Amino acid sequence: MSSRIAEKLCEQALRGGSVVARAEPLVVPYFQSEFNRCLNHAQLNAEVAGERRIAHKRWHALSLACRLNDMRKSEMGWHLTLFELFGQVIHAAPSSCDDVLTTLCHDIVTFLDEQCGIGPESLSITYFGGGRVLPGIDLPPDTLWPAAWRAAGVPDAALIPIPGPKLFILFVGPGERAGPKCEIEVDLSSRGMNRRTEVATGILDNAVVGKRHDSSWELKPALSPAAGVALGIERLRAIRDGAASLFETQPLQSSMTIVEEALPASVRAAQRWTGDARVLVDQCRAAAALLRSGVEPGLGVHGQSLLTMLRRVRRKLAILGIEDQQTQLLTRLETEIDSSVFAKHKHIFQSAPTSLPHAVKAIPWPEGWNPDSYCGCGGHG
């Protein structure tokens, strides 16, 4: 049951001459806040720039992603640092971008309705509302995404323009891809939860970043535009199953159980341990992935992120009162992560000489921080 969403997405993507994208290593140098772009960034970049012209070719991949921006949000239950993305991209001729977007939006709406029970009336779509995207470059509001969503049955009231560069995808650098994007959110109030959650991002790469001789920026039309979508598997699974958080779905629930079984009776009885346990599980997953990708703690941008993760793991172990079980507990968590997550994505990892328990043990406490000052659960970061 847990794999049904990914399987259905793959079945859907296999229509229309689909090609599975070649996997990249988890850590890539050109986009440091998100370690895996899901689809091959360099290959896609070349095609968007017109180095290869492929019209109506659909690429897809199920892949791990590691997003630093979500590192400190996992306590809330709906964010993960390490998560699975399903992405698909359709290449198009410049004159057929609207047709490609209409196809993508129809596929997304149909899938969410039929496989997750999320109807168009529960969706809200934010899109690029115009504004400055580069120094000296102001663009009008996007009209392509809103038109495609309307054609797919999303009501006008659910289409929300957001001004400024936020919803204009842009990796700043000559030759990089750019274009308007949109974010798809689901209203969960009908399911007894007072929240909205993003489940997918749509991207239209119809421009290429360039620099003139005077060093000013320019955006040139892409000779081979591409439209794509990336869906978060864990969030879709949680919504489909009616879970109150991502950590109440497998395999995260199994990891939470491992932590709960290790807690002292007094901590478990206090009923305030859940947030700290979520952070511990989340950071163990992400740290284990970086270790398997060959990242060394403290070296470079990724190494600094790994160092932060390992220190947070140690801190949460102390806060939860289970530091004395560190090696045994982390070994159990790493074994669970290996079997439930990494086994599906072995092709993107290097051999890793350092295990999670050893790495955490080797990390000193942050200067000036005394773990003995913490007892019980307090939700510290």
- For 111: left if phi > 0, alpha if psi spans -120 to 50, otherwise beta; the answer is alpha
CATH domain 4-241 topology: BirA Bifunctional Protein; domain 2 (3.30.930)
Residue 180 has pLDDT above 50, yes or no: yes
E-strand ranges in the chain read 18-20, 58-66, 82-91, 123-128, 131-134, 137-139, 159-162, 168-170, 177-187, 196-211, 217-232
Give the chain's mean pLDDT: 82
pLDDT in tens, 117-151: 888 888 999 999 999 988 889 999 999 999 999 99
Instruction: Give yes or no for a cis peptide into 251 (omega within 30° of 0).
Output: yes
Q: With contact defined as beta carbons under 8 Å apart, do 165 and 131 qualify?
A: yes
Residue 153 has pLDDT above 60, yes or no: yes
Q: If we measure between CA atoms, which residue out of 324, 335, 341 comes closest to residue 262? A: 324
C-alpha to C-alpha distance for 304 and 207, rounded to whole angstroms: 33
Band (330; pLDDT cuts 50, 70, 90):
very high
CB atoms within 10 A of CB 115: 16
Q: Identify the H or E element spanning 158.
A: none
- pTM, 2 dp: 0.85
- Confidence (pLDDT) at 45: 58
Q: Identify the H or E element spanning 261.
A: helix 252-262
The residue with tokens 């629930």 is: 253
Average pLDDT over residues 339-362: 81
Q: With contact defined as beta carbons under 8 Å apart, do 68 and 33 qualify?
A: yes
pLDDT in tens, 43-83: 655 555 555 555 556 777 788 888 877 778 888 899 999 99
CB atoms within 10 A of CB 67: 18
- Confidence (pLDDT) at 40: 55
- Confidence (pLDDT) at 30: 60
For the chain, what percent of residues have pLDDT higher than 70?
A: 81
pLDDT in tens, 194-245: 778 889 999 898 888 888 888 888 898 887 788 888 888 999 989 888 888 9
- Confidence (pLDDT) at 3: 59
Indicate where the chain has its CATH 3.30.930.10 domain(s): 4-241
Helix, coil or strand: residue 9: helix
- Confidence (pLDDT) at 293: 84
Q: Give CA torsion, residues 47, 49, 50, 54, to 10 deg.
A: 30
Burial, 369: exposed, middle or buried (Cβ in 10 Å; 0-12, 13-18, 19+)? middle
Largest CA distance in the chain: 68
C-alpha to C-alpha distance for 363 and 314, rounded to whole angstroms: 8
Band (1; pLDDT cuts 50, 70, 90):
very low
- Confidence (pLDDT) at 215: 83
CB atoms within 10 A of CB 222: 23
- Confidence (pLDDT) at 27: 72
Q: If we measure between CA atoms, which residue out of 39, 36, 134, 144 comes closest to residue 94? A: 144
The residue with tokens 């790493």 is: 334
Q: With contact defined as beta carbons under 8 Å apart, do 103 and 204 qualify?
A: no
